[in-house]
Amino acid sequence: MLRFSLAMRMHSPHVEMLRQLGHATGGRPEGDHDAWVRIADDIATDTQHIQKNIEAWAEQKQDTLPVFSHDYIYASHNTSAVPVAFLYANPAASPAEFRTFHNALTTLAKAGQVVYVLRYYLAWDLYDQVMNLQGYGVDLAIKNLEYKAMDDQVKEKPQGEDADDDEETVAVEGDDEVQGFKFNVLKERHPALKTSLHSFRQFLSEQNQDFDQLKVWDLKNLGVQASQRILAASDPLRAMRDISQSFPTLASSLTRIKLNQTLVAQITDNQNALSSDTTFLINGRAIDPRSYSIYRLLSILKEEVQRVERLQTMYLPSHEAARIASASLPPVPSIRFNITGRTGAIQFMNDLEKEPQYGRWPRTLMDFARRGYPGQMKFVAKNVFTVVTVLDPSQPGALGIMATVENVIRQNAPLRFGFVFVTDDEDTSSDEVNMGRAIAKTIAYLLKHHTSRAALMLMGVMNYQMQGAEATLTMDTFAQAYEMVASNMDKPLKDLDEVLSSKEFDSVLKAANQFAFERGLSKGSLPLGFLNGKLVDQKKDFMEGVVEAYFEQVPGLQTLIVNHAISDSESVYEFLMAPPKQWEEMVGQIAPKFSPYIIPTEAQPLKYIPLVSHKDELSRLAFFESNRDAVKSVTHIIAVNPEDPEHLEFLHSVLERVEKKEEEHARWAVLINPGPDAEIDHSGIVALLAGTPTAPVAFVRQVLDKASATGACDENGACKGVPITLEEVFTLATAESAKVKQSAYTSEKIQGALASHRRLCRDLFKLQPGEGAVVSNGRLVFRTHGEAAGDVHPMSTLSPSDMTFLGHYQAQRVSVALPLLNEAALLGLDPDDITSATRSNIVMGVASLLGQDEVSSVVRKSLPANAVPSVVLPPTNAEGEAVEPLLDVVLVVDPLSKAAQKLSPLLMALRRVVPVTVTLYINPVLSLSDLPLKNFYHLVLQEELEFTQAGQLTAGPSAMLSGLPPARVLTLAMETPEAWLVQPIIAKYDLDNIKLEDLPASEKIMTAVFRLEHILVEGSCNDITANPTPPRGLELELAPVTPTPDIPTQDTLVMSNLGYYQLKANPGIWRLRIATGRGTRLFTMQNAQVDQIAEGQAEEYRWVAVTSFLGEWLLLNVVRRPGMEKEQLLLSDEESKTAGGGGGDPGLWDSFSNLWGGDTGIPAPPSKARVANETIHIFSVASGHLYERFLKIMMLSVLKNTNNPVKFWFLKNFLSPQFKDFIPVMASEYGFDFELVTYKWPHWLRGQTEKQRLIWGYKILFLDVLFPLNVRRVIFVDADQVVRSDMMELVNMDLQGASLGYTPFCSDKPEMDGFKFWRQGYWKDHLHGKPYHISALYVIDLARFRRQAAGDQLRASYDMLSRDPNSLANLDQDLPNYLQHQVRIFSLPQEWLWCETWCSEESKTRAKTIDLCNNPLTKTPKLENAVRIIPEWTSLDEEAKALERKIATKTETGHDDENAPHQHEHTQTQQDTHTNTNNNAKEDL
């Protein structure tokens, strides 16, 4: 694994970060030092000065350097009370000096005097070293040539001829077998004929390239035929790789394979058991094959190998460890809570048995018990399923749940819903009415005196009000919601003030609060949902969790009904809450009380401690158990302060349970965790609890009775228990005839045990001295001291019933692994030493390890037992000998899929790196009607570093694809890890239109070099002042720790979607801050560092360390400054101040009103005059040399028709190196500004695989975050457009309150009516008379666009609609047209976009822009149309070509243009600098 990591350059970003960090914190001190220690601002160059610096720190107690999560920390307990000592050293440069400092600091850390942090210091620079990376894929897709999109210009001069002379390539050999010839065998046998064999192989391959000649009947069985070829090969993974990655050229030969009907039958049987999706499991751990990266996968592999190795330390053999590592703890056990009682506490919103909307459904329980279609709910008019949700209606997210319930009831789901509204006890805490009580009272009033429809409508309206990113529910908005409900009711409602002041429903609120209290449902653990008493999974969306729980419970209820346990006259819900005794086992355990400490919630999440690392110390603890001969599935460890009477009393109750044998499946150990000033050297309690073997439980309880009495108290009222000496214990034991072995309680043994207890409490469980805790099978269930200062809970918080519940809960959780562990053979132990205690220790360690999955949200799966593997590849060493596996990999895959292209070479490499069993399930599509793969692919992956004969590292791997069809037009795409921003830096030819037969005869290889320019820092930002909401439009900056002109500050805007933000970075240390301006006036950062930059001025920031090729994800919380709680972040311009009747933008409230038929009816006034010399901002996208040629012409046409300054914005992602070199010179020549913006498609937004659709997405989905806040209006212009008018007209045009302005399609060309899909079917119905607009030109009012959250609505609708691959055929055009009922479009005058396809010739004279639209009738190439349709196009083209020739001449003569290009470095989102920053070694791909 280490070699693989090094070959992947896995640690290079971390090394670069450490180098920067060392320099940023002062660098090497004066003198010849290779190691030094820094405490705050004091540096020690020898060990004698460390103690002096500790004493100096004690006077100020302020650390000036941050500690990062990636730091190597020794003894990290109690960090606030001691200084942090940073050791900067390079152990390899001076091992003796390092060892001296290291020994001194470890001694101080063990003594609790410092927190020791080791940082490697690298003195050398890595600026100019360029390395080839790997872990990416190269995709060459066969291009659709329905419309010709290739430039007819001939490239005469190569570019960057010397850039890759020394690059080495790794050739892809292609399929081992071509038309029956096995070329790898032939080359081994006849090495002298290698050249001839290669030519013959190429000839045969070319015979296979007529794949488009295949008939439908040839395609049908291709999936099975490919599977046969793979399974017949000696190396199935290699065969799968070769076939999938070069499929178009192999398809023809595969069709000639005779079908194996036995294989067809096996595949059919498997498909009845397996999902059609690709399944990729590593030790049962599910990996998403669509979104994984090699770097992420390498991290997972390390985690899984470590997991198996830890299990091996528990005496488990390798194959047993791998088997158990694939297991997972089951989900939350099937425990039912008694969610009944107290009349009025539960307010039911519907009743399936009484309400008329369910009247036509069957009315008997036997109807429910009848079999139906899988996955279909049972529509029976009985309250079979009851969902009770306990929540505080004023809490964040509560309105969303309430609105979801309203929507589900409206859709007639067969579920009864009820709410328990937990509120503050009184309204009198402030002058303002408590919002939670107001909502609860009003809903209670509507349910009693009106209908549930009124209550449900109120929920829906309130939630709709909260859809704005900065919306808050106030009494004013609540009153508006109430009035809207009142206006839609037949019966008049009481005045809201009368409802809220009435005492009629105080008893309902009181009953709800008492109900929650009695069941342990504290406000901090809410909201919680229960379906028939069973907790709904909180990690899932509310209704997703409800539906999942519904189908889990259906079989059990059907069994009860069939067995006549429940009759039609009984309430199903009441039966389940209190079943008759004979049905208790079938119904399941009923817990009377919910414990947030036992059942994990968002407020009390799971925390598992890996006990395996301290297994030897833990095995030496004294365990109290009722039956020492049985293996215990649960081990509870109780940490207590022996001087705290309350702790001892709790321990007494625990031992009482042991004595009564209430939990024979459990055992108990006690950890002594005395306070900092404890006097326990002669404590008999300590001796009894720490000594082994344990004393009789009854005797220990008797001693605890005496010790838990209240003893001496200090001035603060803190009391200790009654001290009992060891001698007193022995005396009492003699008097009571208790069997206490005095030789087990010598001073030496007790002191050794106590030291071990203290270490475990401090280093393993991270407890403060004197703190109590309960740990169960490694899960930290409870601790007396919370994270916040003063947050202290008594041990009695866990009641006896909680402890009973905990035991059963943990026993059920470990039930999956227990049989495996009991069957496992143990290595390294004498059979006589294997006792029940040994296996109990193993169960404890394994349970703690398996619990880590749940903490990290790891999902493990297993395939159905009836699925038959296609092939199993056992692990072997380099000599081909069988070895024990460390990992078990399962792959279910269609061999003709993109997943097969990526995963087959990955698994080949993995088998060479680590002992792994690969179980392959071939799962092809049985009947194809089209080619499943129309691309060629290569994954760049090399398991080990390669060296030259001189011992130097080679340049590294690269991709080389051979055997490509020379006559086909291909388009290249890079598939890189999500956090990478990659750009081509050398590409002589058009990467969007690759046609190999057009290469000059002297060139046999077409080369492109890409560079990794940035690694992303991403995250989620929330305003947590009240309800956590994303601060949409907040401007963030990412600044290098050492600012220089060469390392620019990056900036971005926060989206409303998830509060997402994205910033460009590179490996190193950065500062994340709110950009100076309105954002800093309104907000302050939570948990921020603060630097005083001037008197009265401070800078707030968060440290960001980029240490991985995976990038960084940071959760950022901001809080509004006092007095700014109601201020809007995004200010409106003149239009938004007056639109909608003087109240700002037409908001969500107006939209909701319009759903009920309302209309404001107030026209927007005309816009005010603009500044005369205002800059025109033009945005465009181009990919491929032809469209870049069009783009130059479009730019010239814009410039020639205006006197205003122009700034062009281009998406850098798709531009060629030639264009990026050309544009600065053109900007200098013509005097315009430009910026290249880059933005990586967010991982959470459904992606596109086809390049054209990806470009369409970039055109429309990120408009709100691509441009800085100071740009108020942008005009998008297609690259293939020619402008004939001053674009300033569009800048000044009144959009009448809309944020977007588009031109409708022309309607004056009757011969094209058959292609106007928007005039019929779905689009006609959806548009409701609104026009369908063309997306070749549009105006964006950015201020209004952001204020209306238009970008967020576009992204949300896109994500929903794109789930259907047949929707959004023209993504950039269909999406805004589909949404124009919510995101209004102003229709620009028709003359603003003319194209020959849709517009009449008569209207051309009025055209202000002409677009080269594709014509579905003629399909004429755009170049032909351009010359024919646009008279000025040829002259503009010649002008652009003349500038290209001028640049080429200057390049040849070496005379550069003296004028600086007009590319600005002002604040903007994701701007490109055109400068190779020297803070990071650039990586080429």
Instruction: Give tens-digit pLDDT for 412-466.
Output: 999 999 999 998 876 544 434 588 889 999 999 999 888 888 898 888 888 777 7
pLDDT (0 to 100) of residue 538: 74
User: Per-residue pLDDT tens for 1086-1107?
Assistant: 888 887 666 667 788 999 999 9
Q: State the burial class of residue 103 (Cβ atoms within 10 Å of its Cβ: 0-12, 13-18, 19+).
A: exposed
Cα–Cα distance measured from residue 330 to residue 860, given in angstroms and rounded to the nearest whole number:
10
Per-residue pLDDT band at 1483 (split at 50, 70, 90):
very low
Cα–Cα distance measured from residue 459 to residue 465, given in angstroms and rounded to the nearest whole number:
10
Q: Are 585 and 592 in contact (CB under 8 A)?
A: no
Its sign, for the CA torsion 1133, 1134, 1138, 1143, is positive
Nearest to 194 by CA among 943, 385, 202, 26: 202
Q: Which residues contact 492 (CB under 8 A, 6 or more apart)?
A: 486
List the Cα angle 1158/1162/1164 in 5-degree steps: 130
Cα–Cα distance measured from residue 1452 to residue 1449, given in angstroms and rounded to the nearest whole number:
5
> Residue 807 pLDDT more than 80?
yes
User: Per-residue pLDDT tens for 247-306?
Assistant: 998 998 899 899 999 999 999 999 988 888 899 999 999 998 877 788 999 999 999 998
3-state secondary structure of 645: helix
pLDDT (0 to 100) of residue 736: 73
Its sign, for the CA torsion 50, 54, 59, 62, is positive
pLDDT (0 to 100) of residue 818: 75
pLDDT (0 to 100) of residue 70: 81
List the Cα angle 1384/1385/1390 in 5-degree steps: 160
pLDDT above 70: percentage of residues in the chain: 87
How large is the average pLDDT for residues 189-215? 72
> Residue 1316 pLDDT more than 80?
yes
Bigger pLDDT: 791 or 54? 54
Q: Where is mean pLDDT largest: 480-494, 675-689, 1403-1417?
A: 1403-1417
Bigger pLDDT: 962 or 1170? 962
User: Per-residue pLDDT tens for 882-892?
Assistant: 888 889 999 99
Q: Which residues contact 641 (CB under 8 A, 6 or more apart)?
A: 647, 673, 674, 675, 678, 770, 771, 772
pLDDT (0 to 100) of residue 700: 83
Least confident stretch, 140-149, 207-216, 259-268: 207-216
Cα–Cα distance measured from residue 632 to residue 839, given in angstroms and rounded to the nearest whole number:
8
Cα–Cα distance measured from residue 1114 to residue 139, given in angstroms and rounded to the nearest whole number:
31
Nearest to 48 by CA among 37, 63, 60, 59: 37
Compute the mean pLDDT over every residue in the chain, rounded to the nearest whole number: 83
> What count of other Cβ atoms lies within 10 Å of the Cβ of residue 1039?
18
Per-residue pLDDT band at 721 (split at 50, 70, 90):
low
Least confident stretch, 207-221, 311-325, 756-770, 1292-1306: 207-221
Q: What is the DSSP letter of 112?
A: T
How large is the average pLDDT for residues 974-986? 93
pLDDT (0 to 100) of residue 1384: 92
pLDDT (0 to 100) of residue 273: 87
Residue identified by tokens 């792994």 is: 916
Phi, psi of 605 (to 5 degrees): -75, 165
pLDDT (0 to 100) of residue 1149: 32
Q: Are 126 and 918 in contact (CB under 8 A)?
A: no
Beta strands (DSSP E) in 1204-1268 are 1206-1211, 1233-1237
Cα–Cα distance measured from residue 699 to residue 119, given in angstroms and rounded to the nearest whole number:
52
Distance of CA 1352 to the CA centre of its chain: 18
Q: Which residues contact 518 (CB under 8 A, 6 or more apart)?
A: 341, 342, 593
pLDDT above 90: percentage of residues in the chain: 36
> Residue 381 pLDDT more than 80?
yes
Q: State the burial class of residue 836 (Cβ atoms within 10 Å of its Cβ: 0-12, 13-18, 19+).
A: middle
> Residue 1038 pLDDT more than 90?
yes
pLDDT (0 to 100) of residue 718: 58
User: Per-residue pLDDT tens for 823-847?
Assistant: 677 877 788 778 888 889 999 998 8
Residue identified by tokens 């390079």 is: 90
Nearest to 764 by CA among 605, 607, 614: 614
> Residue 29 pLDDT more than 70?
yes
How large is the average pLDDT for residues 615-630? 89
Per-residue pLDDT band at 1036 (split at 50, 70, 90):
very high
Per-residue pLDDT band at 1060 (split at 50, 70, 90):
very high
3-state secondary structure of 146: coil
Least confident stretch, 473-477, 960-964, 982-986: 473-477
Cα–Cα distance measured from residue 216 to residue 928, given in angstroms and rounded to the nearest whole number:
8
pLDDT (0 to 100) of residue 1475: 26
Q: Which residues contact 38 (CB under 8 A, 6 or more apart)?
A: 25, 26, 44, 65, 85, 86, 88
Token readout for 924 is 């092809």
Nearest to 1016 by CA among 989, 971, 1059, 1050: 1050
> What count of other Cβ atoms lies within 10 Å of the Cβ of residue 1191?
24
3-state secondary structure of 92: coil
> Residue 75 pLDDT more than 90?
no
Give pTM, 2 decimals: 0.79
Distance of CA 795 to the CA centre of its chain: 37
Cα–Cα distance measured from residue 1371 to residue 1377, given in angstroms and rounded to the nearest whole number:
10
Distance of CA 229 to the CA centre of its chain: 38
Bigger pLDDT: 279 or 208? 279
How large is the average pLDDT for residues 1156-1169? 34
Token readout for 1221 is 């070199």
Least confident stretch, 360-374, 636-650, 753-767, 802-816: 802-816
DSSP state letters, 813-844: HTTTHHHHHHH---SSS-GGG--HHHHHHHHH
How large is the average pLDDT for residues 797-808? 82
DSSP state letters, 1052-1113: EE--SGGGEEEEEE-SEEEEEEEPTTHHHHHEEETT-EEEEEETTEEEEEEEEEE-STT-EE
> Residue 398 pLDDT more than 70?
yes
> Residue 172 pLDDT more than 50?
no
H/E stretch holding 939 reads strand 935-939
User: Per-residue pLDDT tens for 324-359?
Assistant: 888 877 665 567 888 886 678 899 999 999 999 998
Least confident stretch, 221-225, 1165-1169, 1289-1293: 1165-1169
Cα–Cα distance measured from residue 573 to residue 339, given in angstroms and rounded to the nearest whole number:
9
> Residue 174 pLDDT more than 60?
no
pLDDT (0 to 100) of residue 1155: 30
Cα–Cα distance measured from residue 179 to residue 608, given in angstroms and rounded to the nearest whole number:
57
Distance of CA 1066 to the CA centre of its chain: 20
How large is the average pLDDT for residues 198-210? 65
- How would you classify residue 266: left for phi > 0, otherwise alpha for psi between -120 and 50, otherwise beta? alpha
Token readout for 3 is 């070699």
